[in-house]
A and B are shown apart, each in its own frame.
Chain A
Amino acid sequence: MNYSIDELREGALKALENISANDALANWRSQYLGRRGALGKLFGTIGRLPQAQRAGFGQQVNALQQELDAAYAQREQLIQSQLLARDLEEGEIDISLPARPQGRGGLHPSTRTHREFQTIWADMGFQVYHSRDVEADEFNFTLLNLPPHHPARDMQDTFYTTNSNVLLRTHTSPGQIRAMREFGAGGTKPIRVILPGMCYRQEQVTARSEIQFTQVEGLAIGRNIRMSDLKGTIAEFARRMYKPKAKVRFRASYFPFTEPSMEVDVECFLCGGAGCRVCKYTGWLEIAGSGMVHPTVLRNGGYDPSVWSGFAFGMGPERITMLKHGIQDIRYFWGNDLRFLQQF
């Protein structure tokens, strides 16, 4: 019988060594370790042995079972790791094949810039106010200190409607008057708003000029608003929008609805102020027109200019978007060409 146990061990272990697949392993297991397997049969013979041999034989069979169990577990682990290795090796795909198309979608670049603006201004307490596109001449010009025949009316090529006193706003500034009258409570309440929107100019459409463009106007009215606040606020905006610690320059300029008026230049964010083609080698980019609200405009908004003061500014999101992305042709903005829109 000893011979039989040794033979069985040898045969079983040898067979196990050649097994490399799960199903063969399962077969081996039932052949040797299953209820009706070889080992089972050996256990079955115990009862038939003489009493004296039973314990010894039983121990031998038990030892064999433990040995085969261990060998099985080891083999199983080996096969699993081999299979895993094969699987990892054979499961390789060509990662250079094109991706399965996923719909992406995107906001218009102008909207993206407007959102950036609105976020920054909202942090400084400026809320969005939407004003109308089709305006009365009075709001677009006269109430903004541009009476009929004012020389500065020449600066703006206006689209008029067939109703002689109605035009397409040439700037978002008429919204200043509307915001003051709506929120100023008869010139008794402070205001901080930004006025984004589409504006219109009767111009030749070229790579540089368009008949419609968006603007963002800002207006702050209070009892103690100073020109230094205008500088501080716009500089803060510029640094958040373009570059922390960017240099900001304020130049005297002229807008009929502000006095003093100024243009705001920010250090060119393309060359870091060292001079490049885009900033025309000056190191500066013009980003805003601004100034202290003209006393006449304050009055027209219902405020007493001897008590109240304010500042206003205007910016062109398209121009800024063009600078940021190297867009050479302003006509891309309303051309709705997906090849352009998909690049944002």
Chain B
Amino acid sequence: MLVPVSWLKDYVDIDIPVELLAERLTVAGLEVAHIRYIGLPQEPAPGVLMPRSEHLVWDREKLLLGRIVEVKSHPQADRLVLAMVDYGAPELEQCVTGATNLFGYKDQGEITPPIWSAFAMEGARVWDGHSAKPRQMTLKGKELRGIFNKSMVCSEKELGISDEHEGVIVMDHDERYVAGAPLADVLGDVVLDIELTPNLARCFSMIGVAREIAAILDGDMRYPSFDFVAEGPAIEGQVAIEIREPELNPRFTLTLLRDTRVKPSPFWMQRRLKLIGQRPRNNIVDVTNYITFELGQPLHAFDYDKLVERAGGAPTIITRLPDAGEDLKTLDDVRRDLGAETILVADTAGALSLGGVIGGGETEISEATRNVLVEAASWNNIGIRKTIKEQRVHTEASARFSRGVHPSQALLGCKRGIELMRRLGGGQAAQGLLDDYPLPPPTVTVELPVARVKRLLGMDVSLEQAADVLRRLEFDVTTDGDMLRATAPDHRLDISADPAVGQADLLEEIARIIGYDQIPETIMADEMPPQRENTAVFIEERIRDILVGQGLYEVISYRFTSRESEARLAPDGAPSPLPDAEYIEIANPAASERNVLRQTLMSNMLESAVNNARYQSSQRLFEVGKVYLGRGDLLPDEPLRLGILLTGARGRTWWQEGAIESDMDFYDMKGIVENMLAGLHIEDYRLERGTHGSYHPGRSAGLYIGRERIGAFGEIHPQVAARFKLTEAKVIYGELQVAPLIQRHQRLHTITPLPTTPAVLEDIALIVSADLPAGEVEAVIRQAGGRLLRDVTLFDVYSGDPIPAGKKSLAYSLTYQDENCTLTDKNAAKIRRKIIGAARHRLQAELRS
């Protein structure tokens, strides 16, 4: 919300620099997001930093208040005139100008009353009115079509007030200023842009902000008068009110102004509306806007004669819910179908406006309007929110009513509005006003022991201090011993009647106004809760560390995907490899390719691999993240998964010959997975040939720990890889459940003592059937070797000449060692014989000589 400081000063004295005021407001919860300067210099307060403003600062000597007393024609140019300006000097100054709004005065003699405007002397800095881009210039004397000119009368654009450059500024005469006064004193201003949080509904107006300032600065509020001059006949009989839904419309007030004139508002009103970003229209509509911003109470004005015409007599204003199929054409020229929950202002002939949101077109104020009916009503904020949502319409009125406006404000708005309209447009206000108030909100009084203030804030606050703060905020406060009783003022709806919540509401006000900076910083003295071991978190992080240690990069993908994207993971004719669970589907997705939550990490990680493949010859990625498995009406299961992806070269290009290695394959993945299991001290795992459809059936494995299958890894099925356009290099992927890893990790494991006896090393090569898995051979060797066989390392797999067809040679280096004594050659030979014997017997292996 834009808040001109000059406007605030109508209601409260501000004796600190605006920059400091902005800081105080921000710290008190009214965040000043931006400060706009008009003509005045920026003067940062000590210790308060802010961006430097690039605005035009008005020279107090050279930019002055001037009176145009006569306009003469230019002897040589039709489109220029000579304005004779009194700026306090003994002589009038002649300014050559093309301002069209002065042409009407050309050669009419002395203008009475004179036109008050902004006058710039030679040497003044102004914005270049003719430049499309913002550009400042210094006024210099020069000839304009034969007449020397060194000064000018300014447009709003030239002063940086607005983009308006059609004519010169025309002001009202303000008795406080004489010709020659510095313009900065007259039109200089500072506009604060305040961002209001939803709890600050009461501050959604100039008076609302001024009240906060009065409380913060401990100043006094000056409220405008809410009296109105009523010289017309009594309002009774001219109009009536009927409220049918008090819950939605707790109060409705009406006043009537007859024989007024609809015309442009005076300069001061237009200026204020423009400063807050509103477009002036006419005096009646401008007053409804002005009151909305001044008081926070939106008003609505009807053309009374049109209502009479519709009703065929004195109208009755009815607030009600729509009839089925009812519609209304609103001021914005939209014909709206009215849903069941939209509260309407209507008459006996039908709907007139969406209550509290937007008026109807038929009864709006026009230039021909003479009699104006002014509405100030209260609307239930939730009802208004429903209307906004249904009708998708946002207005200054709906912005306020949807946050909540206290019904007490309706009466004030009605009175203030009718009086302002009467002053600006003339006419007679009807005596009295109609005020239907079926549902006043309860008065809220909160009891707060001052000990509780100290206890919860951790700061010493006296009863007097707390009472004073609340009184500054217009609470009605009484005290009784330690107890403070505060009754909320009638502009606030945010103080709760619930005792505990009401206390919190007051505490916030006390802390905020005293200043959060006054509260000390303390260390919690409260009892420390029991500290629990958090294995799940610990192991999850351990897994990350192990993988990073193996040269993998962690990625984090979107948890969103689409069914179609994950469906690509099943090759043609293969059953879906995905869990048998429903998808969690997003009702309002950001994009159609992100309309469900993922059931696997695979699809998104393959996407990441595709994107990276443009820049990377090698990728080693992992992700630890949730997948989402629907469970009907229950909230979904959200198990944690580990995804690992390898693709491309094992090494990177290097300058030494032979350094470029081959592409990563199944065995790289197997190594990474086994290292991870070793790091977690999980030993009872095994691999089984894969049955997961997304992988190459011959180059993938299922990983089992105990009897539980915890995932699979291997080369991505060529068809799946092709669908993801990953055809450059093989993609090796693995996905494991994390919970079993957490559950099965060995928290305590015992180490083997370091042997002090020498080891005996020897190699053996076995010729076995080509299709015998190497794992079985190793298992037989280990079993036969027993305790003394310390290590088995396969160092060569060979087939081809001289190995017979259908056979392969597996060469192992074996380490024998007895930790208790030195093994003799005889012992070693015995173990060797056992191994060879077992291999012959159980594997039909031959020893390769």
Residues in A lying within 8 Å of B, measured CB to CB: 97-98, 100-108, 110-111, 115, 118, 125, 127-128, 130, 132-136, 149-152, 154-155, 159-164, 166, 168, 183, 189-192, 198, 200, 202-205, 211-212, 220, 222-229, 231-233, 235-236, 249-254, 259-262, 273-275, 280-283, 292, 294-296, 299, 305-306, 309, 333-339, 341-342
Contact = CB atoms under 8 A, between A and B. Distances in A.
B512 A125 contact: no
Given A110-B556, A296-B501, A149 B386 contact: yes
B655 interface: yes
B635 A162 contact: no
A259 B522 CA distance: 19
B144 interface: no
23 contacts: A134-B597, A151-B201, A151-B381, A159-B589, A190-B528, A190-B529, A192-B529, A198-B626, A211-B558, A222-B524, A231-B519, A250-B27, A252-B29, A254-B29, A254-B199, A281-B51, A294-B501, A294-B504, A305-B504, A306-B500, A336-B556, A337-B612, A338-B612
A151 B385 contact: yes
Contacts of B590: 159, 202-205, 211
Given A128-B537, A203-B590, A273-B49, 5 more contacts: A107-B554, A162-B586, A205-B590, A227-B456, A231-B516
A130 B537 contact: yes
A262 B521 CA distance: 14
Given A133-B638, A253-B29, A292-B456, A98 B585 contact: no
B457 interface: yes
Contacts of B505: 259
B523 interface: yes
Nearest to A192: B529
B508 A103 contact: no
Contact of A149 (B385, B528, B544, B587): B385
Given A101-B654, A161-B586, A232 B523 contact: yes
Contact of A342 (B553, B558, B587): B553
A82 B500 CA distance: 91
B49 A253 contact: no
Contacts of B202: none
Interface of B: 26-29, 31, 49-52, 197-201, 381-382, 385-386, 402-404, 455-459, 498, 500-501, 503-505, 507-508, 511-512, 516-517, 519-529, 531-532, 534, 536-537, 541, 544, 547-560, 584-590, 594, 597, 608, 611-612, 615-616, 619-621, 626, 628, 633, 635-636, 638, 651-652, 654-656, 659
B373 to A, nearest CB: 30
A280 B51 contact: yes
Contact of A211 (B198, B594, B616, B654): B594
B635 A104 contact: no
Nearest to B547: A105
Contacts of A101: 651-652, 654
Contacts of B455: 224, 226, 309
Contact of A250 (B51, B517, B526): B517
* Interface hub of A149, A273, A275, A299 (most chain B Cβ within 10 A): A149
Contacts of A225: 524, 526
Contact of A252 (B498, B516, B520, B547): B516
Contact of B626 (A133, A220, A249, A337): A133
A296 B496 CA distance: 11
Given A149-B382, A190-B527, A227-B457, A159 B556 contact: no
A164 to B, nearest CB: 8
Contact of A251 (B459, B516, B586): B516
Contacts, number: 270
A175 to B, nearest CB: 13
Contacts of A296: 498, 501
Contacts of B31: 251, 253
A223 B527 contact: yes
Given A108-B554, A151-B403, A232 B49 contact: no
A240 to B, nearest CB: 13
B549 A105 contact: yes
B456 A309 contact: yes
Given A134-B635, A254-B198, A283-B49, A127 B534 contact: yes
A108 B624 CA distance: 11
A190 B612 CA distance: 48
Contacts of B633: 163
* Interface hub of A98, A160, A224, A227 (most chain B Cβ within 10 A): A227
A133 B627 CA distance: 10
Contacts of B559: 133, 198, 200, 212
Contacts of B558: 211-212, 334
Given A149-B385, A190-B528, A338 B522 contact: no
B553 A262 contact: no
Contacts of B200: 254
A252 B508 contact: yes
B526 to A, nearest CB: 3
Contacts of A168: 586, 597
A110 B625 CA distance: 13
Given A127-B534, A190-B526, A162 B52 contact: no
A220 B523 CA distance: 12
A228 B651 contact: no
Given A127-B531, A250-B516, A338-B616, A105 B51 contact: no
A168 to B, nearest CB: 7
A107 B544 contact: yes
Contacts of B548: 105-107
Nearest to A154: B198
B621 A336 contact: yes
A110 B549 CA distance: 18
Contacts of A224: 455, 525-526
Contact of B498 (A149, A160, A273, A295): A295
Contact of A191 (B503, B529, B584): B529
Contacts of A295: 498, 500-501, 503-504
